[in-house]
Structure 1
Amino acid sequence: MTEHPRQKGSEAVWLDAAYELLTQNGVDAVKVMPLAKKLGLARTGFYWHFKDRDALLDAIVSRWEEKNTGNLISRAEAYAESITEAMFNLFDCWLDETLFDAKLDLAIRNWARNDFGLQKRLDDADAARGKAIQQMFERFGYSAAQAKVRAMTIVYTQIGYISMQVYEDRSERINAMPDYIEVYTGRPVEDTDKHRFFARHNHSG
């Protein structure tokens, strides 16, 4: 008997539900039956889209790599006329969940503690992020050694921020970002760069 489309759902529907379980309850909660129950779909519908649970988990990791690491690298490579403007481009990731999903990053890091293969992918992702930020600094005249230290300071700080699940008022966080950028770069922040950044995040300053 052919599976009714309403019982199958779509690949995105199953993946989104798996994302919710992962970020809320950890990887052990991501199982086919709980997903089917959560979605109100037939369990067999899952297998129209994924070979097995491992395939679903791999799809989640791929989504994380493409979204978080891919977007972070793109923002680090975005056009800028100064290092401080480049940093504002990068800081878009910390404010726009469509660019960088902090909940997913934390879930992946927690999961990787007990998964050697995932830990390797996480290490590769962190290395790629660090390299992109290092190259961003190098484009603006920093030595390779200085660029690497500044890049890793940014990476480690953000990992800590996510892992500690720090809560800040959004307005206060945005107001503090120019000061963070001055600390990270050692350069004063131009008002034009600051106001452009504030405007694209609908912040009045």
Structure 2
Amino acid sequence: MVMAQRGPRGQQTAGKPRLSAEDWADAALTAISEGGLAAVAVEPLAVRLGATKGSFYWHFANRDALIEAALERWAQTETEATITELETEPDPERRLRRLFSKAMAAAAQDPLEVSLLATADDPRVRSALERVTLRRISYVARLFGELGFPEAEARHRGLLAYSTYLGHTQLAHAVPSALPSSDALRHYLETVLHPLLRRD
């Protein structure tokens, strides 16, 4: 939900980076964000990374294995790592506000999730989207539960919050002019969160 930095982090060997499987997965995610699933091709990725195809085959049997690894990498960096970071904040309302603010800001910067949603007819992408979406909704619902909402109501509010995030993400890339400017974004987010946090 929150954009991570993607780029080579491999160990240095003879002046050149030794690429890891994660580096290839990150490059694949960047390609998906730029051109969809069809943009994941070994040779262009090797050129982008300054590597050989041999480096790719050291880590992956084929393109399908790379796509699977990239989708797993996306789930880890954009969801699990974000949750781990948020859990350092003991107050659930602050956690929720921080998550909402960071996720909305990141949505406008990184087209990756829009690209993944556009290729949801691919079984691998569909499976990853389902797993990540359910995990995210479950986490947000848990935060509402920690705020004192009954389980069913917490789930309902978690779904509403996530639907808002997805709508914001789509608009940020399809019709960015429909969204408030950066100066008005904080007020906009507060307007969205207020009814979700309100206890009737």
TM over 0.5: yes
Following the alignment from structure 1 to structure 2, what is the Cα–Cα distance between the partners of residues 43 and 10?
Answer: 12
Residue 162 (structure 1) aligns with? 169
> Residues 71, 42 of structure 1: CA spacing in aligned structure 2 closer, same or farther, 3 A cutoff?
closer
Aligned length: 181
| 8 Å CA contact 1:7, 1:41 repeated in 2 | no
Task: Determine if contact 2:43/2:53 at 8 Å carries over to the other structure.
Answer: yes
Higher RCO (C-alpha under 8 Å, 6+ residues apart)? 2
Unaligned runs of 5+ in 2: 1-12
**4+ runs of 1 displaced by more than 4 Å?**
4-9, 75-78, 99-102
Deviations 1:147-190 (A, max 9, x none): 11111001111112212325353332123222222122126xxx
Residues 79 and 136 in structure 2, CA contact (< 8 A), matched pair in contact too: yes
Task: Tell me which residue corresponds to 1:179.
Answer: 191
Equivalent position SS for 2:59? coil
Is 1:71–1:100's contact at 8 Å kept on the other side of the alignment? no
Task: Indicate the residue corresponding to 1:120 in structure 2.
Answer: 127
Percent of counterpart pairs with the same letter? 24
What CA distance in whole angstroms lies between the structure 1 residues aligned with 2:26 and 2:131? 24
Residue segments in structure 1 that go unaligned for 5+ positions in a row: 188-205
Distance 1:18 1:152 in 2: 29
In structure 1, how many angstroms separate the alpha carbons of the residues matched to 2:143 and 2:161?
Answer: 12
User: What are the Cα deviations for residues 112-138 of structure 1, in whole angstroms up to 9, with x where unaligned?
Assistant: x22224312311221111111111111
RMSD across aligned positions (CA): 3.1
Q: Provide the rounded CA distance (Å) in 2 between the counterparts of 1:82 and 1:45.
A: 44
Deviation at 1:86, TM superposition (A): 3.4
User: Does the 8 Å CA contact 1:21/1:30 hold for their aligned counterparts?
Assistant: yes
The alpha-carbon deviation at position 108 of structure 1 amounts to 2.2
TM-score (structure 1 length as normaliser): 0.73
